[in-house]
Structure 1
Amino acid sequence: MFKKGLRRSVVMHYFIVVFLTIMIVEVIFMISIQAYYYNSISNVMTNQAYSSTSYYQKFIGTSYTENDTNYLPDLLKMFALENTELQILNTKGDVIISSSGFQVEKGLQTSDVIQAKNGSQSRWIGSQTSTGEQVMAVSTPLIDQGQTIYILRYVTSLEAINNKITSIILIAIGVGVVVLAVVLLISFGLANSIVKPINNITAFSGQMAKGRFDVRVEGDYRYELGELASSLNYMAEEIVRSDQVKNDFISSISHELRTPLTGIKGWTETLVSGNFSDPEETKLGMTIIAKETNRLIGLVEELLDFSRLQQKEVRLNQDPVDIVALLTETKLQVKTKADQKQVRLTLNVSGIPVPIIGDTNRLKQVFLNIIDNALKFSHTQSNIFIHIEYEPKECIITVRDTGIGIGEEHITKVTEKFYQVNPLGGGTGLGLAITRELVEQHGGRLSITSISGEGTSVIVSLPICDKVHDIIKDQAEEEELQA
Structure 2
Amino acid sequence: MFLKSITQRLVLSYFIVILITVSVLEVFLISALDKYYNNNMKELVGNQIKASADFYNNYFSSSSLEKNIEDNADIFWKNTNAEVQIINKDKKMLLDSVGNFTEDKVEAEDVEKALEGKLSSTTAKDKATGERIMYMSYPLMSSGKIEGVLRFVTSLSEVDEITKRITYIFASLGLVVIVISSLISIKISNSIVKPIKEVTNMAKRIAEGKFNERLSIHRKDEIGTLSMAFNSMTEEILKNDKLKNEFIASVSHELRTPLTSIKGWASTLKTGQLDNKSEIIDGLNIIEKESDRLTLMVEELLDFSRFISGKVSLKKDYIDIRNNLLYLEKQFTPRANRQNINFTVRLQENMSLIFADENRVNQVIINILDNAFKFTPADGNVEMTCAEEEDSIVIRVSDTGLGIPKEELPHVMEKFFKGKSSMSKNGLGLSISREIMELHGGTISIQSTYGEGTTVTIKFPVNKEGEKA
Residue 135 of structure 1: how far off its partner (Å): 2.4
**What are the superposed Cα offsets for residues 90-118 of structure 1, whole Å, 9 maximum, x if unpaired?**
5676643234xx22152486744664587
Contact 1:116-1:151 at 8 Å conserved across structures: no
Whether the aligned pair in 1 keeps the contact of 2:217 and 2:228 (CA below 8 Å) is no
- Secondary structure of 1:390's aligned partner: strand
How far 1:321 sits from its partner (Å)?
Answer: 2.4
Q: Distance in 2 between matches of 1:299 and 1:131?
A: 103
* Cα-to-partner distance string for 1:326-355 (whole Å, 9 max, x where unaligned): 222212212222222211111123575333
CA change 1:321–1:352 in 2 (3 A) is same
The residue number in structure 1 matching 2:160 is: 162
- Deviation string 1:72-94 (CA, Å, 9 cap, x unpaired) is 55365057533323211356766
1:8 is matched with 8
Residue 19 of structure 1 is matched in structure 2 by 19
How far did 1:431 drift? 0.6
Mapping of residues 391-430 of structure 1, within 5 Å: 391-422=389-420, 425=423, 427-430=425-428
- 1:12-411 correspondence to structure 2 within 5 Å: 12-46=12-46, 49=49, 63-64=63-64, 68-71=66-69, 74=72, 76-78=74-76, 80-90=78-88, 95-99=93-97, 102-104=98-100, 106=102, 107=104, 111-112=108-109, 115-116=112-113, 119=116, 122-129=120-127, 131-142=129-140, 150-350=148-348, 353-411=351-409
User: Which stretches in structure 2 are left out of the alignment for 5+ residues?
Assistant: none
In structure 2, C-alpha distance between the alignment counterparts of 1:212 and 1:327, rounded to whole Å? 49
Summarize the Cα distance change of 1:326–1:9 in structure 2 as closer, same or farther, 3 Å threshold: same
Per-residue CA distance 1:309-339 (angstroms, 9 max, x = gap): 3333333333332323322221221222222
Within the candidate set 458, 461, 469, 1:460 is matched to 458
Give the share of equivalent positions with the same residue, in percent.
35
Greater Cα offset, 314-323 or 191-200: 314-323
Shift of 1:55: 7.3
**Secondary structure of 1:407 counterpart:** coil
* 1:156 to 1:202, Cα distance in 2 relative to 1, 3 A: same
**CA deviation profile, 1:162-200 (whole Å, cap 9, x unmatched):** 233333333333433343343234223312321222222
Query: Normalising by the residue count of structure 1, what TM-score does the alignment of the two structures yield?
Result: 0.86
Separation in 1 of the partners of 2:393 and 2:91? 105
Residue by residue over 1:229-281, the C-alpha shift from the partner in whole angstroms, topping out at 9 and shown as x without a partner, is 11111111111111111111111111121111121212222222222222222
Moved more, 421-430 or 54-63: 54-63
| Aligned residues of 1:139 and 1:152 also touching (Cα < 8 A) | yes
Residue 369 of structure 1, CA deviation: 0.5
Point out where structure 1 has 5 or more consecutive residues left out of the alignment. 472-483
Change (3 A) 1:50 1:216: same
Q: Which residue of 1 aligns with 2:430?
A: 432
Correspondence for 1:476: none
3-state DSSP of counterpart to 2:456: strand
User: Contact 1:80–1:86 (CA<8 Å) still a contact in 2?
Assistant: no
- CA pair 164-72 structure 1, distance change in 2 beyond 3 A: farther
Distance 1:230 1:348, change over 3 A: same
Return the alpha-carbon distance in structure 2 between the equivalents of residues 144 and 77 of structure 1. Answer: 16
Q: Tell me, yes or no, if the aligned pair for 2:336 and 2:373 is still in contact at 8 Å.
A: yes
8 Å Cα contact 1:115-1:121 kept in structure 2: no
**Cα distance in 1, alignment partners of residues 326 and 204 from structure 2:** 56
Query: By how many angstroms is 1:297 displaced?
Result: 1.2
* Conservation of the 8 A alpha-carbon contact between 1:252 and 1:428: yes
Q: 1:479 — aligned with what? A: none
SS of equivalent to 1:435: helix
| Residues 108, 37 of structure 1: alpha-carbon distance in 2 compared, 3 angstrom cutoff | farther
Cα–Cα, structure 1 residues 121 and 108, in superposed 2: closer, same or farther, change >3 Å? Answer: farther
Alpha carbons of 1:408 and 1:424: their partners in 2 closer, same or farther (altered >3 Å)?
same
Q: TM-score, normalised by structure 2?
A: 0.88
Corresponding residue pairs, total: 465
Displacement of 1:425 in angstroms is: 4.2
Structure 2 residue matching 1:275: 3-state secondary structure: coil
| 1:180 aligned partner, one-letter code | I
State the partner residue of 2:440: 442
Deviation at 1:54, TM superposition (A): 7.1
Whole-Å separation in 2 of the counterparts to 1:161 and 1:262 = 107
Contact 1:252 1:424 in 2 (8 A): no
Change (3 A) 1:121 1:82: closer
The separation in 1 between residues aligned to 2:194 and 2:390, in whole angstroms, is: 58
Q: Deviations over 1:400-425 (max 9, x none)?
A: 11111112222122112221113864
For 1:477, the equivalent position in structure 2 comes to none
